[in-house]
Amino acid sequence: MSPPIIDRAAASTPPALARHIRGLSDRAIAWIFIAPTIVLLLAINIFPLIWTIRLSFTNFRANRTNAPVRDVGIDNYVSILTDPEVWQPMQATAHFVIWTILIQTVLGFSLAWAIDRKFRGHGFWTTVILVPMMLSPAVVGNFWRFLFQPQIGLFNYGISAVTGVPPSSFEMLGSVALAPWAIVIVDTWMWTPYVILICLAGLRSIPDYIYEAAEVDRASPWRQFWTITLPMALPFIMLAVLFRGIENFKMFDMVNLLTSGGPGSTTEVASITLKREAFEKWRTGYSSAFAIILFVTVFGLANIYVKALNRVKSR
Amino acid sequence: MAEIRLEGVTKRFGRTAAVEDLSLTIADGEFLVLLGPTGAGKTTALRLVAGLERPDAGRIAIGGRDVTAEPPAARDVTFVFQQYSLYPHLSVYDNLAFPLRSPTRRVPEAEIETTVRELARLLQIEDKLKNRATQLSGGQMQRVAIGRALVRRPSVYLMDEPLSSLDAKLRADLRLELKRIQVDLGATILYVTHDQIEAMTLATRIGVIDRGRLVQVGSPREIYEQPVDTYVAQRLGQPAINLLPADLLPANRLAAGTRTVGARTEHIRVTPADGQARGRVKWVEHLGDQSHLHIALDGHSLVALVDPDTALERDAAVDITLADPLCFDAAGRRIG
Ligand SMILES: Nc1ncnc2c1ncn2[C@@H]1O[C@H](COP(=O)(O)OP(=O)(O)O)[C@@H](O)[C@H]1O
Ligand SMILES: [Mg+2]
């Protein structure tokens, strides 16, 4: 009979290596395992960040690497923060972030609540609801372009069926008034399931006996919702808001595919402006400064928010 | 305050009958304790009365009103859950005030405050009122849970092993306190426990439950002195009753047809004997106010109670006789 597999594995380790490994302390072994990750993190996250900070104080242009690079101090920052045109992408971003979060949170939590109430076939519908999230943003962007087509788009026909206005009388992606809402609609379609998932986790974490106690204490369903369901699910809801907020602040792919920032610059969110400055106008130094400003903004907001979240959680 | 009446109540979970054909009336102002081991169906019985479970068969009436189909809120009951069912995000004060703040019965905030503070004093959690429910020890949480049941004046109080997670001293205190509250209020309480001391000290009547069936109901004295069968006899008495073959020991009186005798410590006479005696002391347990004598006898073992200053020691030979033991037939039913 052959020896157990674990003994064979031990025996087949080269003696020199085995002795070597045995000589290492736990701490050393831990470092060996972490090292590749740290190196990778430094190489693809930390180093580019530091490099970007450095570039943001220069007039460097990535398409003219031979041109002399001049140190311009904080000029890039000054010109961004004093440029009235910069407020356009900031406003477009704020519109997009605020409305997607608001709609997705309300919708996501309500749907999660409905699913949690266990109606017939809820398992099947939970799966169906999650499908959009599994698609690639490129696919989603492209097929919503079709849905939004005034002549053949299903979306326009749907709206027309409900409201009676002719389907080709409005252009979701081509109109200055509607385009900002078109991207909100698509993002909501795609990411509400994600909010549902997180809220469901929150709702499922509330033990049944708390509701039973409330039931015996004669709390109405309304009061149960406000004094039990909502406060106890709140940390989860806030987490969903944080994830969606960070994600949408740097939204690029879907909006770029749907409208490329247009019409005009109505849907030009910050990351699209950034791409134009960096890879169309090749103002590398300037766009680096812009990226740093965005980064600091998101980082600052997220930090304030996480503090609030921790306060809610520790209650 | 009201009477609870259960008529042929049955509740099944899949194939296990958690409660089977339970008929029981708890009189107005009575403290009825359901006693049984884990899994006997005690919790299920309470949840049926509270309305947290619907019976598969039978009727439940509270205060003469059929509530079988009514939700918990309509039944006017309070419930102490076996696990601490506090609202974790509320303070202790708000937990206690929660049942009073029901919009259907507007209680003035000042009155709530008086009630809550008085109750907190009673349960020795005054200094914890501002704490969050999650910042308490297990014993404190359970006291808050008990307090939440006592803060209202419902028709009936339902309690599911409320003292089992407390330490011995606090348990003894709260036992007295609960009994006093019940007498003061004239409250109807249905109380569930696996602890025979709680059952003996608290109950007006005890209901012994086994695998979903009510085996016997009676005053603690009746249950102790006249158990209907060996199962009930084993539930009460500390140390537990000795069940021995009828012909093992001489007894002053045995009913005809006795197969098993039930000898509680008070039925056993132990006398020191010479080396020929059949009984041997295996060990002596000194408990302070009394001592337990573990005796081996022809392959059986039994426990007797002796004075703390007993001269008997390990390996001493003893003679044993029985005085008025309980007599059970072949099926375990008591016949004398
Ligand atoms: N919700 C439930 N689902 C399935 N079985 C249950 C449920 N509640 C109780 N039971 C079963 O019913 C029996 C009685 O349980 P329970 O009333 O909790 O007993 P006790 O409170 O006396 O320990 C047990 O066998 C238990 O497994
Ligand atoms: Mg139980």
The mean per-residue pLDDT over the stretch A43-53 comes to 90
Average pLDDT score, chain B: 89
Q: Domain spanning A75-313 has what CATH number?
A: 1.10.3720.10
Whether cis (ω within 30° of 0) applies to the bond prior to A166 is no
| Bridge partners for A156 per DSSP | none
| Nearest one of A264, A258, A209, A257 to A232, comparing CA atoms | A209
The Cα-based distances of B206 to A21, A125, B181 in angstroms read 67, 50, 19
DSSP state, A4?
P
Q: Is the CB–ligand 1 distance for residue B208 below 6 Å?
A: no
Asked whether the beta carbons of residue B52 and residue A216 sit closer than 8 angstroms, the reply is yes
The SS3 call for residue A120 is coil
pLDDT for the residue numbered B97: 92
pLDDT for the residue numbered A286: 86
Q: Could you tell me the distance, in angstroms and rounded to a whole number, from the CA of residue A312 to the centre of ligand 2?
A: 33
Write the pLDDT tens digit of every residue in A116-171.
Answer: 876 677 778 778 888 888 888 888 888 898 898 888 888 888 888 888 887 777 78
Average pLDDT score, chain A: 85
pLDDT for the residue numbered B295: 92
Query: Higher confidence at residue B105 or residue B32?
Result: B32
- pLDDT bracket for residue B204 (50, 70, 90): very high
Q: What is the CATH number of the domain that holds B59?
A: 3.40.50.300
- In percent, how much of chain B has pLDDT > 70? 99
Write the pLDDT tens digit of every residue in B206-216.
Answer: 999 999 999 99
Same domain membership, residue B289 and residue B194: no
- In percent, how much of chain A has pLDDT > 90? 28
Write the pLDDT tens digit of every residue in B132-176.
Answer: 888 888 888 888 998 999 898 888 999 999 988 888 888 888 888
The mean per-residue pLDDT over the stretch B63-87 comes to 90
End-to-end CA distance of chain A: 61
The mean per-residue pLDDT over the stretch A287-313 comes to 89
Query: Is residue A246 scored above 80 in pLDDT?
Result: yes
Q: What is the CATH number of the domain that holds B295?
A: 2.40.50.140
ipTM: 0.82
Query: Is residue B23 scored above 90 in pLDDT?
Result: yes
Same domain membership, residue B247 and residue B220: no
The SS3 call for residue B286 is strand
Query: For residue B175, what are its two tokens?
Result: 């036992």
Asked whether the beta carbons of residue A209 and residue B85 sit closer than 8 angstroms, the reply is yes
Q: What is the residue range of B177's domain?
A: 4-235
What's the Rg (C-alpha) of chain A? 26
* Amino acid letter, A212: E
Q: HEC string of B28-70?
A: CCCEEEEECCCCCCHHHHHHHHHCCCCCCEEEEEECCEECCCC
Distance CA B139, CA B171 (A): 9
Whether cis (ω within 30° of 0) applies to the bond prior to B239 is yes
pLDDT for the residue numbered A9: 64
pLDDT for the residue numbered B303: 93
Task: Provide the residue ranges of all domains of chain A, joining segments of one domain with +.
Answer: 5-55, 75-313
| Nearest one of B23, B319, B179, B47 to A213, comparing CA atoms | B47
A94: burial class by Cβ within 10 Å (0-12, 13-18, 19+)?
middle
Same domain membership, residue B230 and residue B246: no
pTM: 0.79
Contacts of A209 in chain B (CB under 8 A): 81, 83, 85
Write the pLDDT tens digit of every residue in A276-297.
Answer: 888 888 888 888 888 898 889 8
Q: Are A156 and A150 in contact (CB under 8 A)?
A: yes
Same domain membership, residue B65 and residue B145: yes
Q: Which helix (H) or strand (E) holds B144?
A: helix B138-150
Please report where in the chains the tokens 């890039």 appear, as a residue. Answer: A76
The mean per-residue pLDDT over the stretch B16-21 comes to 92
pLDDT for the residue numbered B262: 92
Q: Are B67 and B75 in contact (CB under 8 A)?
A: yes
pLDDT for the residue numbered A311: 87
- pLDDT bracket for residue A18 (50, 70, 90): low
Of all protein residues, the one whose alpha carbon is nearest to atom 21 of ligand 1 is B43
Domain count, chain B: 2
Phi-psi region of B283 (alpha: psi -120 to 50; beta: other; left: phi over 0): beta
- pLDDT bracket for residue A274 (50, 70, 90): confident
pLDDT for the residue numbered A266: 82
- Say how many residues make up chain B: 336
Q: Which of A218, A219, A232 sits opposite B89 (nearest CB)?
A: A232
Q: Which helix (H) or strand (E) holds B185?
A: helix B168-185
| Nearest one of B244, B249, B242 to B277, comparing CA atoms | B249
* DSSP secondary structure letters along A106-117: HHHHHHHHHHHT
Distance CA B329, CA A96 (A): 83
Same domain membership, residue B319 and residue B179: no
Query: Is residue B308 scored above 80 in pLDDT?
Result: yes
Query: Is residue A315 scored above 70 in pLDDT?
Result: no
Asked whether the beta carbons of residue A216 and residue B103 sit closer than 8 angstroms, the reply is no
- pLDDT bracket for residue A19 (50, 70, 90): low
Query: Is residue A303 scored above 90 in pLDDT?
Result: yes
The SS3 call for residue B159 is strand
| Nearest one of B22, B26, B139, B6 to B84, comparing CA atoms | B139
Same domain membership, residue B268 and residue B230: no
Lowest mean pLDDT among A157-161, B18-22, B51-55, B319-323: A157-161
Lowest mean pLDDT among B22-31, B135-144, B258-267: B135-144
- pLDDT bracket for residue A258 (50, 70, 90): confident
Same domain membership, residue B221 and residue B86: yes
- In percent, how much of chain A has pLDDT > 70? 92
CA atoms within 13 Å, Cβ hemisphere of A268: 16
Distance CA A219, CA B98 (A): 9
Same domain membership, residue B46 and residue B12: yes
Q: Is the CB–ligand 1 distance for residue B83 below 6 Å?
A: no
The mean per-residue pLDDT over the stretch A268-277 comes to 85
Query: Higher confidence at residue A62 or residue A7?
Result: A62
What's the Rg (C-alpha) of chain B? 24
pLDDT for the residue numbered A76: 83
Asked whether the beta carbons of residue A213 and residue B90 sit closer than 8 angstroms, the reply is no
Interface test with A, best of B53, B54, B89 (most A CBs within 10 A): B89
From the CA of B194, give the closest atom in ligand 1. 22
Distance CA A132, CA A147 (A): 15
Residue of A nearest to B99 (CA): A217
pLDDT for the residue numbered A99: 96
pLDDT for the residue numbered B200: 92
φ, ψ for residue B293 (rounded to 5)? -105, 115
Q: Could you tell me the distance, in angstroms and rounded to a whole number, from the CA of residue B18 to the centre of ligand 1?
A: 6
Q: Could you tell me the distance, in angstroms and rounded to a whole number, from the CA of residue B162 to the centre of ligand 2?
A: 10
Lowest mean pLDDT among A99-108, A232-241, B121-130: B121-130
Same domain membership, residue B265 and residue B227: no
φ, ψ for residue B118 (rounded to 5)? -65, -45
Residue of A nearest to B87 (CA): A210
Lowest mean pLDDT among A13-27, B42-56, B287-301: A13-27
From the CA of B38, give the closest atom in ligand 1. 23
- pLDDT bracket for residue B275 (50, 70, 90): confident
Query: Is residue A184 scored above 90 in pLDDT?
Result: yes
Distance CA B109, CA B89 (A): 20
Query: For residue A312, what are its two tokens?
Result: 């809610």
pLDDT for the residue numbered B55: 94
CA atoms within 13 Å, Cβ hemisphere of A62: 16
Query: For residue A303, what are its two tokens?
Result: 């930090």
The mean per-residue pLDDT over the stretch B50-76 comes to 92
The mean per-residue pLDDT over the stretch A17-22 comes to 65
